[in-house]
Structure 1
Amino acid sequence: MTATLALERTALRRGACPSIATPMQTGDGLLVRLRPVATALTAQDLHALTDLAREHGNGLIEITARGNVQLRGLSADTVPRLAAGLAAAGIVPQTGVAIEVPPLAGIDPSEIADATLVAEALRRAIVDAGLRLAPKLAIVVDGGGQLNLADMVADIRLDAVVQPEGFAWRLSVGGDRTTATAVALLSREAVIDGTMTVVKALAAIGPAARGRDLDPEALDAGQVPLALPAASSRHPLGLHDIGGETVLGLAPAYGQMHADHLAALLDGLSACGAVEFRLAPHRTLLVRGLSEATLAAARAHADREGFWSSADAPGRAISICAGAAGCASGTFDTHAAADAMVAHAGALLDGSVDVHISGCAKGCAHPAVAAVTLCGTVTGIGLVAHGRAGDMPAATVSPDTLESAIQRIGTLLRARRAENETAKSLLDRTAPATLASAYQGLT
């Protein structure tokens, strides 16, 4: 089994981020990922995406954990036609380095600063410098607000910090707001030049360099800041009061939807008064324009089309790929496995840990470490505790016994869980071998 799994991991090594220029080959054809330049999208924009997904792909559309859109099932012939269709619809995909800002930047009165202005200036500076950077390099510019990006991991971060004279930007590398290493505290006037010091240092290392490769002490970007105060990161799914405006966060179940369901949802939401849509992290679509009178109807439309509308939806803690139903690399039905997890192992799904269900060892839906991962292999469905999909599983079961295995995991955790205990605490004190034994039915 060891040699077989090692061969799988070698054959399925992940490459650069997929885009229209460089689509990724998957089991159901080519995959294209894009983020529109326009942060505010109309129903017409999204209807155009549904039409293009059906015409040039297999109709499957995904919203990623970082708030991008993915279209699946494309081919070498249809990708150029997709690009032409996007242009005709006026949808311009972002290119170059990924610079992410809060989804409500510029309209949330509780934010410290409007991150879009800095992000646009930084993007221009990087383009003008002509630097060659890692394809997956990620930059976060977080001005704060209710739907901030405190939990978003990035190679380079700029976090707005309240100062006596207004605000400044804390520059850090290699992590989220809490774990990133501080480099400098930059004034509004110095923020672009100071950040470009770090960008140029990455380029000097090489085209594959990431934030973790930098030596912060060797960077001379400005005054070294104090530690940031803690900031909670609110999940975008559910209802939000943004300056007296109701914003509804919807998420397609497990991040994936068919174009037909999205189109039907758009029609229903438009009839309820929706006027604007924004892509958001955690696989969410934010809806503006709804009123108290139409909110219940809007949520009913979402439920009917397979979208979650409540912040406590248990499935939101699970990341899944298309699985066997939508990808030739998938070895089992990941959606059915996720439904079984919701039904039988709710103790894992309070949001304090990540759960990953992957059809194969590539781990496309969640490349990072997860507390619990179920991964399809040539010998069955493996259980990985505190690891990635491509890691060696602690136990393996056959697809036809998977639901029973999930039930046993759920029974074990319910029996061990203390009152009001989080999933993270529960798993921290549960040995992986104990989970593996329950999974295989050995206890």
Structure 2
Amino acid sequence: MTTALACDPGTFRRGACPSLAAPMRTGDGFLVRLRPVAAALTANDLLAIASLARETGNGLIEITARGNIQLRGLTLEMVPRLAEGLAAAGILPQTGVAIETPVLSGIDPSEITDATPVADALRNAIAAAALTLAPKLAIVVDGGGVLSLADMVADIRLDAVEVGGAVAWRLSVGGDRETAQPIALLSSETVVEGAMTVVAALAAAGAGTRGRDLDVAALVACFNAPALPIAATIPPHLIGVHVIGGQFVLGVSPAYGQVHADRLAALVHSLSACGATEFRLAPHRTLLVRGLSEPALAAAQDAAQREGFWCTDKAPGRSVSICAGAAGCASASFDTHAAADALVAHAAELLDGSADVHVSGCPKGCAHPARAAVTLCGTAEGVGLVLNGKASDPALSTIPADGLVPAIQRLGNLSRNRRGDHETAKSLIDRTAPALFVSAYQGQQ
């Protein structure tokens, strides 16, 4: 296994996802991202990961926006040791194209169908085809349920629907459930073959092609099956308490997605003492905890807060997506964690969960590739303000990094002065002229 995972950082393809076979160099060493094959992790699994994070890296662990786990601060010499440790603990990382399913697939009684068999069949079909695809290609297979993936953007989406008492799958490309372009409605018998038609089109168009780049009309013409609109639905935020199938599920998230191994281990021990039986990595940087009784929930939440985890859907920082920043990435130009803390302290009116806020160390926008209502992005000139766009979009205004906290304070003052009773942050941002935000950001009020 050690030999197979020997890696040369010079061969790492720009834009690819870091893995055991291809770790990514960052400002604090090498980073490895993994998604365990097992949907549920035990307490021992998480304790093993925490121990390996300390042994092979700097002890920092991240849960990503798509529910992967990242270990930071490794050296190349330690990557084989990490692989050996994971294997010894029985933790097998997934490889190949990322195919996402709802975190409670197969155990949520409200889902239309279990998405796992379709996802597994599609993963096997893609592996057998041996096609060259975009490094960050993402596929969602969503069987529905309380914690669906309706808000997850993907290159290819398969959404379960009920048609005439039978399960069918809507195939779409380039977006979340609401924004993806519908291609066809497929039966359970033809869904994998249909999805592979789109996978083949992506491969034929070139290794960097994403779902948004495809010719939708040409794809629709390939199928003798109508596309089906799906009503937009917004799943609840995963952080907090959920009652699903009569059982309690607690979603916790390390602040801004990052925690030290010692604190993760302490949390696992405390939650296990409260009765937790399994842990599931979930989107939005969340860890779902199952097995807790109603009387144990308060103690479990206290333990989470004590170890620096958010555990209620009211935590203001849950709306902020941040990257490692200058402390952990050579591309970043400022302290993203300090900026996020300033937003929580001085501009909480923008953080009610109705609008995405993105703090990006550089224009690559790794932490939130999609558009956000407000983005603060590091550049060579300073920190730029982008409204309703991506980190890579032109900034409306740029200020020196040492003036960012006062600028955030001014944005907070503007938001408090303009916000109506019971108004959401999204409504406030949508109805406020961008020039007013720019003026506040620059200190020209």
**Fold shared by both chains (TM-score > 0.5):** yes
| Partner residue in 1 for 2:107 | 107
Give the whole-Å Cα distance in 1 for the aligned partners of 2:420 and 2:162. Answer: 40
CA RMSD of aligned residues (A): 1.7
State the Cα distance separating 1:417 from its structure 2 match: 1.7
1:241 paired residue among 203, 223, 243:
243
Question: What is the one-letter code of the residue matched to 1:31?
Answer: L
Identify unmatched segments of 5+ residues in structure 2.
1-12
Match of 1:430 in 2: 432
Match of 2:208 in 1: 208
Show structure 1 runs of 5+ residues with no match.
Answer: 1-12
Distance across 2 between alignment mates of 1:172 and 1:328: 36
Picking from 348, 351, 356, the partner of 1:346 is 348
Distance 2:194 2:147 in 1: 26
Alignment of 1:242-391 (within 5 A): 242-391=244-393
Q: Distance in 2 between matches of 1:439 and 1:48?
A: 45
1:315 CA drift (Å): 0.7
Shifted more, 15-24 versus 293-302: the winner is 15-24
CA displacement 1:374-411 (0-9 Å, x = unmatched): 23334433322233334443333344433222111111
What's the counterpart of residue 144 of structure 1?
Answer: 144
Whole-Å separation in 2 of the counterparts to 1:132 and 1:53: 32
Amino acid at match of 1:429: R
CA distance in 1 between counterparts of 2:323 and 2:67 reads: 15
Q: What TM-score, normalized to structure 2?
A: 0.93
Is the 1:151–1:233 Cα contact (8 Å) retained in structure 2?
yes
- Alignment partners' CA distance in 1, 2:83 and 2:52: 9
The answer as to whether partners of 2:140 and 2:156 remain within 8 angstroms in 1 is yes
Secondary structure of the residue that 1:303 maps to in structure 2? helix
The equivalent residue for 1:7 is none
Change (3 A) 1:14 1:352: farther
Per-residue CA deviations over 1:122-173 (Å, capped at 9, x if unaligned) read: 1111112222211111110000000000111111111110122321111111
C-alpha contact 2:67 2:285 (8 A) present in aligned 1:
yes
1:401-436, Cα deviation, whole Å (9 max, x unpaired)? 332221111111111122222222211222333212
Which range moved further: 413-422 or 186-195?
A: 413-422
* Paired AA for residue 275 in structure 2: G
Which of 228, 231, 235 does residue 226 from structure 1 map onto?
Answer: 228
AA partner of residue 113 (structure 2): A
Q: Cα distance 1:265–1:427, how it changes in 2: closer, same or farther (>3 A)? A: same
**What is the rounded CA distance, in whole Å, between the counterparts of 1:202 and 1:335 in structure 2?**
37
Letter of the 1:59 counterpart:
G
1:21 partnered with 2:24: no
SS in 2 for 1:61: strand
Which residue in the other structure is 2:3 paired with? none
Instruction: Name the CA shift for 1:231/1:367 in 2 (closer, same or farther; >3 Å).
Output: closer
Q: CA deviation at 1:245?
A: 0.4
Using a 3 Å threshold, how does the CA distance of structure 1 residues 230 and 357 change in structure 2: closer, same or farther? closer
Q: Which amino acid aligns with 2:245?
A: G
CA distance in 1, matches of 2:234, 2:402: 41
What percentage of residue pairs aligned between the two structures are identical?
A: 70
TM-score for the superposition, normalised by structure 1: 0.93
Match of 2:125 in 1: 125
Secondary structure (helix, strand or coil) at the match of 2:406 reads helix
CA distance in 1, matches of 2:311, 2:362: 29
**Relative to structure 2, which stretch is displaced further, 327-336 or 258-267?**
327-336
